[in-house]
Amino acid sequence: MAGIGGYSGWRWIFIIEGLATVVLALVSWFVVADWPETAKFLKPEERALVNRRIHEDMAGAAMDGFDSKSRRRIFLDWKIWTGVIIYLGCANNGYSGAFFTPTILKQLGWTSTKAQLYTIPIYALSAVAAVGTAFLSDRLRHRYACCILGVFVASAGYATLLAQKHVPVDVRYVALYFTTVGGYITQPLALVWMNNNLGGHCKRGIGAAMQIGLGNLGGIIASNIYITDQAPTFPVGFGTSLALSWLTAIGCTVFFLGLWQENGKRERGERDYRYNLPKAEQDNLGDDHPRFRFVY
């Protein structure tokens, strides 16, 4: 399509991909159901089952109102801000791979076409790892260890790339598998883990938007740390990405310990004073409700 409409071929790639996204978004508006009650593809008994599971999952932790007290509970919640830090490190990893993996492969001496081709198995394996780890995490009902696993895998890759002058090209290529697979393990789990620990539709919606919106600042970092003059070793790029991976690990550890401590307080009844709050406020506590328990 190069030359059609006066646009280069690479421009048409972005135009077509962008149009596909816009079209799917418009279709989704009419196809995706907002609530079980409006899902036409569900039978009445299935709607009842979904509603019951939602209620059990929330453990009474509703937050449907957006008053001044709920705003404070949302915007001053340490869990959301910790989730932002966790995701920022993950996002840097993801954007670094998307932006620069073909460039890095080309710097290893391969042609542009071969470099693009050799990115395919990297992302194929990463997709398998992401789905497999998500399944394992659900089966174990545990997030923290799986997130840390991803950090260790990515760190092994970045450490190898930082020492690439001392390793052959094939090993450097394998290192890109480690960096990408590690990021694909941790990034989706980071999103799910935080949302598992936010109670109420209002808080989950705003919390997810804050985590992704602010955490995507990692993409801005990624686009500025791979300095052309430093090719092909990119010490600043790989070093910064390694450091941000461990920022994610630190954030995950703080998140884990904070949730564990808070669950202990609730088991000991140290949050039961909230039962004395006015009924309207009790019904809008979200995950601050004493019955809510956090997952690790």
CB 162 within 8 A of CB 133: no
CB 175 within 8 A of CB 45: no
Query: Which stretches within 163-233 are classed as H helix?
Result: 169-196, 201-215, 217-225
Name the DSSP class of 37.
Answer: G
Which tokens belong to 285?
């506590």
Residue 35: its pLDDT value, please? 79
Residue 60: its pLDDT value, please? 64
CA distance 265 to 151: 30
Residues of the chain with pLDDT under 50: none
Residue written as token pair 């840097």: 92
* Secondary structure of residue 232 in the 3-state scheme: coil
**Global confidence as pTM:** 0.85
* Secondary structure of residue 284 in the 3-state scheme: coil
CA distance 18 to 85: 29
Residue 235: its pLDDT value, please? 93
CA distance 38 to 36: 5
Residue 59: its pLDDT value, please? 60
Residue 34: its pLDDT value, please? 80
Residue 213: its pLDDT value, please? 95
